[in-house]
Structure 1
Amino acid sequence: MSSDTTAFGINFYSGNKKALLGCIREGVKQPYSFVVTPNVDHLVQLQHDDALRDAYARARWRLCDSRVLLALLDRLGVEIEEAIPGSDLTLDLLQWASEDRLRVVLIGCSTAETQKLKELYPGIDLYHHNPPMGFINNPEEVQRCLQFIRDTPSELVLFAVGTPRGEILAAAIQPHERSGMAFSIGASIAFATGTIKRAPLWMRECKLEWLHRMCLEPRRLAKRYFQDALYIVPAYWREKNSRHKASLAKQQS
């Protein structure tokens, strides 16, 4: 990718979702790789989480997950065709997996959600492992997760354990250990099964899905979104000034 796809220290995937899905169809036949989905909250976490930064560096693609972030990237002159929300991509992957009877490893989610997923997508050959709360700080539980993934061949691996846990697990699997592609999908299974309702289409198109989610889960999300806002405004101006200075230096050289 050219340098005009890079901002906030991230080299973003620049294509559209249709092209991406075509690449994924081929990618699942190849040695293991994984995808991350940066949004504003991830940018905040990347500032202080070395393991997350390492995972981002190893990822095959970094998809712009947020229409809000896409608007900022556009203002910076970063050439990305469209935002690809992880929730939308997950639905496409589940539909494809059901139609083509693919194998899917799912890490995280409750038994009830998994059962609902099987009912909605009966063609999927689903293998489920749900680690206990706080597992990421327990080396034995982490290894149990990783061994389950290594021992269970599948085209897709879906990490529904939140950030940075999903990304850390995804990066711990090596390409020689298995084939297929992995995705850190956050709460996408809850959206897919209807456990959590997504924002209406008009809110998504108006970049207001964050507001809908905050109204549904105010205790969990209000503080996060406030911290995101405190970070992204000065970060945007730093990025803009840095790019302006780099452009001037290039013109003078």
Structure 2
Amino acid sequence: MEFVICGTTIRVNVATRAALEARVAERLAQRKGFALATLNLDHLVKLRSSGPFRRAYAAQDFVVADGNPIVWMSRLAGRPVELIPGSDAILPLARIAARQGVSVALVGSTDAALARAKSYLEREVRDLEVSLCIAPPMGFDVQSDAADAIFERLGASGAGLCFIALGAPKQEAFAAAGRQKAPAVGFASIGAGLDFFAGTQQRAPGWARRFALEWAWRMMTSPKRLAPRYARCVAILPGQMLRAALLRLRAERI
């Protein structure tokens, strides 16, 4: 499934969880880095208005579908992909790292949340080592000397996998920069996933996720912050669904 936004092609190039785990396992085994982004409708909105975000997305090695609308569009286009929320990818990827003896770094959120997330991960994943936790300050710039210092610490730590919880578009930009400055590290952008583990944010209950209502649950918990965001997402959804349908029609004519 692909989206062409202001001349930049954004492609969901990893369709299933099994494929994602296989690709990450291969990169970690070879001690080669990667950048993983989790595409959702909010990202499509941001990509329309931000050239730097489009460039950061274009630099990602792996892109998965994080959001039911992306999955629905893929099915409509005849190019189905699985739903792989960033939060759900953390434990499987951490288990792969542990099996291969690769240590993990956590970047983002707050010091307290990272400490709790570290404890949770090391408790849940046998033999996992979280070797580095860094909570950048407010206003952190991924193109700054402070970011370069983090990349240096990542390299010195020996971590082969870094979970980034900085929020979009900062985490994707951080991952894109990391591919150049810490090329042996795999960067996975996972949004609020670490805060869920730490208990500093509450994820939508299982029933809401099963019925594709996580967005509604989240909006009710933080309406002032999220209502405008979701309104922008709803505004672009019809056009995106139409483009997906046209992709299928063109493919059937070939």
With 179-188 and 166-175 compared, the bigger mean Cα shift is at 166-175
Question: Of 141, 149, 173, which aligns to 2:154?
Answer: 149
Contact 2:24–2:93 at 8 Å: present in 1 too? no
In 2, the alpha carbon distance for the partners of 1:189 and 1:98 equals: 18
Change (3 A) 1:78 1:39: same
1:41 Cα deviation (Å)? 0.4
Conservation of the 8 A alpha-carbon contact between 2:34 and 2:187: yes
> Structure 2: which amino acid aligns with 1:140?
D
The one-letter code matched in structure 2 to 1:88 is D
Question: Residue 114 and residue 78 in structure 1: after superposition, are their counterparts in 2 closer, same or farther (change >3 A)?
Answer: same
Code of the residue aligned with 1:37 in structure 2: it is T
SS state at 2:141 partner = helix
Which residue number corresponds to residue 31 of structure 2? Answer: 30
Deviation at 1:42, TM superposition (A): 0.5
Q: Answer yes or no: is the 8 Å Cα contact 1:108–1:130 preserved in 2.
A: yes
Which of the residues 113, 129, 133 maps onto 2:138? 133
1-side partners of 2:14 and 2:78: how far apart? 12
* Sequence identity percentage: 28
Instruction: Name the counterpart of 2:73.
Output: 72
Q: Matches of 1:158 and 1:173 in 2, distance apart? A: 12
Q: Per-residue deviation at 1:53?
A: 1.1
- CA distance, structure 1, for counterparts of residue 95 and residue 32 of structure 2: 23
Equivalent position amino acid for 2:227 in 1: A
**Counterpart secondary structure, 1:135:** coil
Task: Indicate the SS of the match to 2:90.
Answer: helix
Contact 2:76–2:241, Cα closer than 8 Å, also in 1: no
Q: Report the CA distance between 1:44 and its aligned residue.
A: 0.7
Provide the secondary structure at the position in 2 that maps to 1:10.
strand
- Structure 1 residue 126: deviation in Å? 2.8
Task: Give 1:34 shift.
Answer: 0.7
Q: What's the secondary structure of 2:65's corresponding residue?
A: coil
For the structure 1 residues 239 and 119, does the alpha-carbon distance in structure 2 shift closer, same or farther, using more than 3 Å as the test? closer
Deviations 1:142-161 (A, max 9, x none): 33333333433212111111
Asked if 1 retains the 8 angstrom alpha-carbon contact of 2:104 and 2:131, the reply is yes
CA–CA distance in structure 2, aligned partners of residues 43 and 214 of structure 1: 19
* SS at 1:47 equivalent: helix
1:115 alignment counterpart: 115
Is 1:6 the counterpart of 2:11? The answer is no
The corresponding residue for 1:106 is: 106
Does the 8 Å CA contact 2:117/2:195 hold for their aligned counterparts? Answer: no
Task: Please identify, of 177-186 and 140-149, the stretch whose mean Cα deviation from structure 2 is larger.
Answer: 140-149
Pair 1:196-2:208 in alignment: no
Note closer, same or farther for the CA distance 1:212–1:107 as it changes in structure 2 (3 Å cut). same
Superposition deviation, residue 102 in structure 1 = 3.5
Provide the residue aligned with 2:211 in structure 1.
206
Structure 1 contact 191–197 (Cα < 8 Å) conserved: yes
8 Å Cα contact 1:12-1:63 kept in structure 2: yes
Instruction: Report what 1:93 is aligned to.
Output: 93
RMSD: 2.5
CA gap of 1:164–1:176, structure 2 versus 1, over 3 A, is closer
Distance 1:220 1:36 in 2: 23
Counterpart AA for 2:234: A
Q: Distance in 2 between matches of 1:239 and 1:22?
A: 28
Q: Which residue of 2 aligns with 1:159?
A: 164
User: For structure 2, which runs of at least 5 residues remain unmatched after alignment?
Assistant: 123-127
**What is aligned with 1:45?**
46
Change over 3 Å in CA distance of 1:138–1:35 after alignment to 2:
closer
Aligned partner (choices 166, 169, 182) of residue 187 of structure 2: 182
TM-score (norm 2): 0.85
